[in-house]
Amino acid sequence: MISMPCDSAGSGLIALGAIRKYLEDSGANDIEFHRKRIRDEEKKKLKDRRILLYTNCSKYKFRYHSNDDDGRDQIEQILRASKKSQQNPFIINDVDLKAVYFEGEPCLMIDNGNELPYGDIYRNLLDKCGEVYDSNLKTTYSGVCLAGRTMGENTTRDILSRIRLHSGSEPVQLDILLSVHDWSCEKISRLLFFNSRTKKIDRQSAPLRLVVADGDAAFLKVYDNIDLFGECDIIAVIDRTLERDRLDKIVETINKLAQWYLPENVLPENIPPIPKGISLAIWKKR
């Protein structure tokens, strides 16, 4: 938990750091989870199956059809209402599920040349860190989440957009670098977004590894949501210039934490000295 002497884009910067860290990890992608999610559609009734899009056939919409005896996946075209009586839907056999994605969600993978265009910024973001694994710039990952402000998604995005980073090229806004699906025109996303106001995430995720909460209210929403965030690490960035009642709520929640967590009293070696005016508390599971 980090307390700041003012309102800031700290949570966005931390989320960017987390994106950078997982770009080094060859296993940081949604491939397995994605495949399972699509195949799970077969368990649903036909009418309840979600709409799928296929990158190789972008004119049509599909739903998952079946996984045949040989393990080959099939998707079936969804006919528009006006066409229903005129033709039969076609089925694509032995489809590559990595090219299929849910409508309203990012693609799982994209081709060469379409990867996230800010590789230089990610690579040069920090000293003393590992190499970026290039294929990660072409693959969606949902292990890291940003929990936005309860004032709404636009407020969160607005404050993040005021920070710009560049690496020899034109400056890029922080909100764009975070590659949140709805904020960016890129087809893949390396950060899940949790809307603390509506309590909804922007896509289903594989088990989360880290959530960064932007503000006190977002932290409380994350803390209460055990189903989503019960197993992951939490970093909360709190502005301590808030009204007293809100500070008291945080203190109350931290006091409750003490039953299951122990405070760390020494700053970990890999963290640089804390700047004046910022305070940090680390709690680890007992």
Partner 1 sequence: MSTTASSICAFIAQDHQYVIDRRVISSCDFSLFRRNLLKIIKTLNECEANDTTEISNKLRWLLSEWITTPIPFGKDLSEKIKILGKPEEVAMRWPDIKEAYEVSLIAATRLSQNENPIRLEIRHVIDDLIVSGKKFKIYCHKNARQYFESIMHDLSPDLIDGDYFIHKPKDYRRIEPFDVLIKVGPFRSCGWGSCPDALLTAPRFETAIQFVWSGSRDEPGFGLDPVTGVSIIGENSFDLSLPSENGMSRVIPWALKITQTGEFLPIIDEDEFQVFQTINKVDKRTAVLLHIDEQYGILYPFREKILIFNPTADSQNEQIGLHLPGDVSVSGAFLILPIIAPVDFGELHAKDGAYSLIWKKRLSEEIRKDHSGLCKRLFDSGIKLISLFSRIEEWSNPPKTVILAPQKVEHFRILIDHLGIEGHVEGQKQPWWQYAWKEIRRSKGEAISEGRIAQDLLHEHSLKLLISLQEKIHEKTKQETDFYIRLPEGKELQGHFRFCKIVDIEIDFRAPDSAFREINDLREFEQWRG
Residues that bind partner 1 (CB under 8 A): 1-10, 150-154, 162, 197-198, 216-217, 238-248, 250-251, 254, 264-267, 273-282
Helices (H), the chain: 10-23, 31-39, 119-123, 153-161, 174-177, 216-224, 226-229, 244-257
C-alpha span between 80 and 60 (Å, rounded): 9
Nearest residue (CB) to partner 1, 113 versus 273:
273
CB of 183 to partner 1, least distance (A): 13
Give me Rg for the CA atoms of the chain.
21
Nearest residue (CB) to partner 1, 81 versus 251:
251
Cβ–Cβ contacts within 10 Å for residue 137, how many?
Answer: 21
CB of 144 to partner 1, least distance (A): 22
CB of 280 to partner 1, least distance (A): 5
CB 191 within 8 A of CB 179: yes
Strand order in the sheet with 73-77: 91-92, 73-77, 62-67, 52-54, 100-102
Structure-token pair, residue 245: 């009642």
Nearest residue (CB) to partner 1, 41 versus 216:
216
Nearest residue (CB) to partner 1, 132 versus 242:
242
Number of H helices and E strands in the chain, helices first, is 8, 16
CB of 247 to partner 1, least distance (A): 4
Nearest residue (CB) to partner 1, 19 versus 250:
250
Instruction: Give the angle 124-128-133 at the CA atoms, nearest 5°.
Output: 60
CB of 224 to partner 1, least distance (A): 14
